[in-house]
Each structure stands twice: as structure tokens, then as C-alpha cells.
């Protein structure tokens, strides 16, 4: 089971080296994500589309058998489930039952039933601490592997996130990477208008955390940032667009919660089909050599 999983990842990692393969993967995942959310009449599609590229890059290009992923922004569960589906860890039948009675795939990641999902999330502000706990355990056991935790930007309103950051720095958790889906919107407004943390990267740096800022829809930039050597726990602030790839959803606050109508769904499908590359995609290039980051 594990061997075949490894082999599958290895194959996928090779495929991802071509821009066409990445575009195909991204399109296939986004279409499936839209279908799931439309059929389930589920909301949260905006924040799912903003974080989908990160989860795809993580699972297809970065995470190894010793690594662990925590989706702290649990409302992006759909994108996580689709990502797991693209690597063969979930099946079509699983996705078809998304949000349905008797499903394994609850609206936020469940406590049990999916091997890859380590923790039930959905209440914001838990993931970084959980990740810090996993990273601390590896540190104590001298085990290899990296813990990657994907947060939203609004999530950093939660004081517990900063508690976790202090802990991670204090304990020099060099095996912890925190990604921030910085789409600039939260439940009922722009993050700048609700509880402004900009420039958030500077705040992370002020805590002594190595911080990079990248385009969160640029697979190459994400891959490069993930592979950059760290001097401690690190943060990747990924600039993203809520509803990425669907014109009427992009940067629109209401797509935090709204389900799609039939006509909206059809338009969204059409736009994703036509935009076979992510809007910000740049010419494909190999990741740069690893470089050291200062705080």
C-alpha cells in the first residue's frame, strides 16, 4: 500500500515537471471541485479555489512519505479532498458523497476515516499548534520529515496562531512550514477592513520567522519556496485570489459562503475549461537551487 503510494507520487512528480501536465492537473482538479460544490450546494468555493494550487503543489511536488500536512483552514476541505483524489487517496465514490448523509467527507476535515487527515479542523487557529506538536515530536525523536500547515489569512485574527508561532520559534522547529492563503478576504469583509494585519509578512519576521512571499497560484514559485532551505520554522505568504479562475468569483467576498446557481456553475466550468492555465502562470522553469533565508 505504502510502496504503491510512493510509486504513484514518484510518477506524478515526474509528470508535474511539464507545464502542460500541471495545467491539466489544475484544470481537472478545479472542475471536480466545482462539480462537488455545485452538486452538494455547498459554500466556501472561493477559499477552496484560492488554496487549491497550494495543496496540489504540496501533494504532487513536495510532500514525501515522512512529511505531514495539516489543513488548518478547514473550510477548504473540498480542495483537500480533490487533491487527495488526484493522488489516488480518495475515490470518485468518496467525492460523490461530499456533504451527503453518510459521507466520510464532511464539510470540514473529519476526525477519523481518512488516513491522510490527521486532525479534524474547521475551527480556525488550531492547525499551527497541532503542526508544532507534530514537528516537536519529530525533533524529539530525531525523525526526518517536514510538517506543512496551510492557514487562511483571516485565521491570523486568532490569538492561538501567534501562541503557536512563538512556540515554534522558541523550540527552533526547523521542520515546520506554515503557508498562508493570503486572499485578502474573510467571512464578512476584507481582512484589511476587519482586522488589518498587513503587512503580515513583516509581522512574521518580527517574530523571528523566516518568511517568503510568493504568488500562490504560481506552481513554480510555490515549489521553489517550499524547497528553500530554512534557518528555523518558516512561513510562506502566498498571495492568492479568492475564487481563482472564475471571473465572477475572483476577489469577491460573497463567495466565502455562497453556493452556486446552475447558470453560475455552467459559467464557472466554461471559464475553467477555457483557461487551461492559471491566470498568473509564468513560463515553466526548474526550481532554483536552495538558498538560505534570513529572518
Partner 1 sequence: MREDLGRRFINAGVAEQNMVSVAAGLAASGFRPWVYSIAPFVYARPFEQVRNDICLHRLPVVLVGNGGGYGYGVMGATHHALEDYGALLCLPHMRAYVPTFDQDLSVQIDSLMKITHPAYLRLGTSEEPNGAVIPPYSAWRRLQHGPGWLVLVVGPLAGGIWSAARQLYGASRPTLWALSELPCLPIPEEFRADLLRSRRLLVVEEHVEQGGVGQSLALALASAGIAPARFVAKSAQGYLTGRYGSQGFHRRECGLDGASIVDFLTREGSRDAA
In the bound state with partner 1, the residue whose beta carbon lies nearer, of 129 and 228, is 129
Residues 6+ apart with CB under 8 A from 202: none
Q: Is 138 in the site for partner 1 (CB under 8 A)?
A: yes
Q: Which of residues 217-256 bind partner 1 (CB under 8 A)?
A: none
- Contact residue for partner 1 among 18, 170, 196, 247 (CB under 8 A): 170
The verdict on 111 binding partner 1 (CB under 8 A) reads yes
Residue 282, classified by CB atoms within 10 Å of its CB into exposed (0-12), middle (13-18) or buried (19+), is middle
Assess 104 for contact with partner 1 (CB under 8 A).
no
- 42-57 in b/e form (b: 16+ CB < 10 A) is bbbbbbbbbbbbbbbb
Instruction: Report how far residue 293's alpha carbon sits from residue 209's, in angstroms, rounded to the nearest whole number.
Output: 10
142 grid coordinates: 530525531
User: Which C-beta is closer to partner 1: that of 70 or that of 79?
Assistant: 70
DSSP label at residue 229: B
Applying CB under 8 A, the site for partner 1 has a residue count of 29
| Binding segment (CB under 8 A) for partner 1, from list 30-38, 89-97, 116-124, 266-274 | 116-124
Closest distance of CB 176 from partner 1, Å: 10
Cβ-based nearer residue to partner 1, 150 or 272: 150
Task: Provide, rounded to whole angstroms, the least separation between the CB of residue 155 and partner 1.
Answer: 13
Closest CA to 69 of 61, 245, 170: 61
Shortest distance, CB of residue 131 to partner 1, whole angstroms? 7
For the segment 150-169, give every residue that binds partner 1 (CB under 8 A): 159-160, 163-164, 166-167
Take residue 246 and report the three cell numbers written for it.
472564475
Nearest CB to partner 1, comparing residues 33 and 128 = 128
155: number of CA atoms within 13 Å, CB side? 32
What span, in angstroms and rounded, lies between the C-alpha atoms of 234 and 113? Answer: 30
Spell out the residues 6+ positions from residue 185 whose beta carbon is closer than 8 angstroms to its own. 46, 154, 191, 242, 251, 252, 253, 256
The CB-of-39 to partner 1 minimum distance in angstroms stands at 27
Which of 52, 130, 200, 237 touches partner 1 (CB under 8 A)? 130
Q: Rule CB under 8 A: which residues touch partner 1?
A: 111-112, 118-121, 123, 125-126, 129-138, 140-141, 159-160, 163-164, 166-167, 170-171
Amino acid at each position: 500500500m505504502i510502496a504503491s503510494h510512493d510509486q504513484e507520487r514518484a510518477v506524478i512528480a515526474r509528470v508535474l515537471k511539464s507545464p502542460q501536465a500541471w495545467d491539466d492537473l489544475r484544470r481537472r482538479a478545479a472542475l471536480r471541485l466545482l462539480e462537488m460544490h455545485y452538486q452538494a450546494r455547498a459554500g466556501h468555493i472561493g477559499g477552496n479555489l484560492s488554496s487549491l494550487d497550494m495543496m496540489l503543489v504540496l501533494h504532487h511536488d513536495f510532500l514525501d512519505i515522512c512529511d505531514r500536512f495539516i489543513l488548518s483552514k478547514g473550510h477548504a476541505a473540498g480542495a483537500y479532498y480533490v487533491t487527495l483524489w488526484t493522488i489516488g487517496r480518495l475515490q470518485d465514490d468518496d467525492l460523490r458523497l461530499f456533504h451527503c448523509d453518510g459521507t466520510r467527507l464532511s464539510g470540514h476535515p473529519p476526525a477519523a476515516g481518512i488516513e491522510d487527515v490527521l486532525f479534524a479542523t474547521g475551527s480556525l487557529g488550531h492547525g499551527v499548534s497541532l503542526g508544532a506538536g507534530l514537528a516537536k515530536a519529530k525533533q524529539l525523536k530525531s525523525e526526518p520529515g517536514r510538517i506543512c500547515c496551510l492557514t487562511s489569512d483571516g485565521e491570523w485574527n486568532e490569538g492561538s496562531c501567534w501562541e503557536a508561532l512563538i512556540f515554534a520559534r522558541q523550540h527552533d522547529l526547523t521542520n515546520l512550514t506554515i503557508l498562508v492563503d493570503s486572499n485578502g478576504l474573510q467571512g464578512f469583509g476584507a481582512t484589511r477592513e476587519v482586522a488589518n494585519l498587513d503587512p503580515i509578512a513583516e509581522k512574521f519576521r518580527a517574530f523571528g520567522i523566516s518568511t517568503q512571499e510568493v504568488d500562490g497560484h504560481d506552481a513554480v514559485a510555490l515549489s521553489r519556496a517550499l524547497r528553500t532551505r530554512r534557518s528555523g520554522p518558516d512561513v510562506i505568504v502566498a498571495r492568492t485570489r479568492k475564487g481563482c479562475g472564475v471571473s465572477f468569483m475572483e476577489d469577491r467576498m460573497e463567495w466565502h459562503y455562497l453556493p452556486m446557481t446552475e447558470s453560475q456553475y455552467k459559467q464557472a466550468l466554461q471559464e475553467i475549461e477555457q483557461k487551461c492555465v492559471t491566470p498568473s502562470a509564468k513560463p515553466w522553469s526548474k526550481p532554483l537551487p536552495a538558498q538560505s533565508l534570513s529572518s
